[in-house]
Amino acid sequence: MIRCGVIFLFAFLINELNCISSNDSDVDLDSYQFIAKYGYQPEKRVVETEDGYLVTLFRLVGKGPPVLLAHGLADSSDSWLVLGPTMSLAYQLSDAGFDVWLYNSRGNRYSKGNTKRYTNKEYWDFTYEEMGTRDLPACIDHILKVTSREKISYVGFSQGTTIFFVMCSVKPEYNKKINHAVLLAPVAWTNSIEYPFISYLGRYLKFLIVLFDHFGIHEMFTENMRRKQQGIECYKTSSYCDLEYYLNFGVANFENLALDKIDVIDSHIPAGASTKTLAHFIQGYRNKQFQRFDYGLRKNLLLYSSIQPPDYDVSKVTVPLSLFVSESDRLSDISDVKILVPKLRNIKRYFEFNRTLDFTHIEFAYGRRVNEYINYPTLKILLEEIKNSDET
């Protein structure tokens, strides 16, 4: 009996050690450390926006043409790094000769500074509009100044596409500063998104905004929501984990995620976002429009000279575009994308994954098939565009 117990204990310990994979050394790394660990030259730059927010860029220093990567909602620059050199786009772009820059939206774990001494409430008073009209322009200008280039390439995922549309619509002069944009799971209209309780959130949005403000809830998807290293790898195939990914992202087949990196992924997301940003996306669902933030009749008149918030005019987007969309994406719903597409003036390539592929929203960044369907095509596109442009 004792011998059996010892054998059982030994087997248990071996299993627990297997659960602590080699990836665990990446669990606590930040973007700078990721870049350095895998042999690339890291650089951290803090850019001040016109309204005093301090936005952090991480760079994989290269001598080639610059490319800026912009993450999704409540994510960070980590999303382009956590899968490692063989699967993460940032490393692959660097290997191909690009000078790679990774954006971090205001309010995420890397971009929480400001120079205006804002109160907590004042600081979090932003949506994806400010990211598009203030963060991105400041970052692009900084990159062009540092690199002495005239244009950059751009890759955006989810919210990273939203802020691109906002920038090019509201500040169309920035169209000429982008050589080509690859837009992964583009989000503008959100009429048909599927998200837990989205109908309820849309119906009671104004009440919820007042309620959250009353209780001082200005930040959502905070860092302390993350699951830490302990136990993550060992329960990754549990029904709880399956349910979470299904409800939030529609992942029915858990094997489509990069399972050997789940502990690293889960230790880096979420990375923080403002409550107001989420409200802005929900507003789009409620109003069935891609429009500026709705402050109510009186403030709308003051800010916009209009009772209703104006629509973003995406017809002003003149940057050459490549779009990647999926019929299985619940957050960048194909019917919403088809509202967007006819309004865009310069789509050069359009890739649509059919439903049989079961390619869900989170897989654009964290799936095991990213090389085949996202990374390799993106590399090919950007290299072709650079070759065909005057920028060398």
Give pLDDT tens digits along the chain (392 positions).
434 443 333 333 334 334 444 445 899 899 999 999 999 999 999 999 999 999 999 999 999 999 999 999 999 999 999 999 999 999 999 999 999 999 999 999 999 999 999 999 999 999 999 999 999 999 999 999 999 999 999 999 999 999 999 999 999 999 999 999 999 999 999 999 987 788 989 999 999 999 999 999 999 888 655 544 433 443 444 555 555 554 555 555 667 777 788 888 888 889 999 999 999 999 999 999 999 999 999 999 999 999 999 999 999 999 999 999 999 999 999 999 999 999 999 999 999 999 999 999 989 999 999 999 999 999 999 999 999 885 44
The answer to whether the CB of 248 falls within 8 A of the CB of 196 is yes
Helix (H, G, I), strand (E, B) or coil at 100: strand
Q: Residue 146 has which token pair?
A: 């540092």
CATH among 3.40.605.10, 3.40.50.1820, 1.10.3470.10, 3.40.640.10 for 2-388: 3.40.50.1820
The answer to whether the CB of 164 falls within 8 A of the CB of 183 is yes
Helix (H, G, I), strand (E, B) or coil at 143: helix
Known catalytic residues are 158, 361
Phi, psi for residue 220 in degrees, rounded to 5: -130, 165
Strand partners, 75: none
**Helix count and strand count (H, E) for the chain:** 17, 11
Q: Residue 159 has which token pair?
A: 């919210």
- Those residues whose C-beta lies under 8 Å from the C-beta of residue 289, and which sit 6 or more positions away, are 189, 311
Q: Residue 294 has which token pair?
A: 């709705």
Spatial distance between the Cα atoms of 184 and 261, rounded to a whole number of angstroms: 21
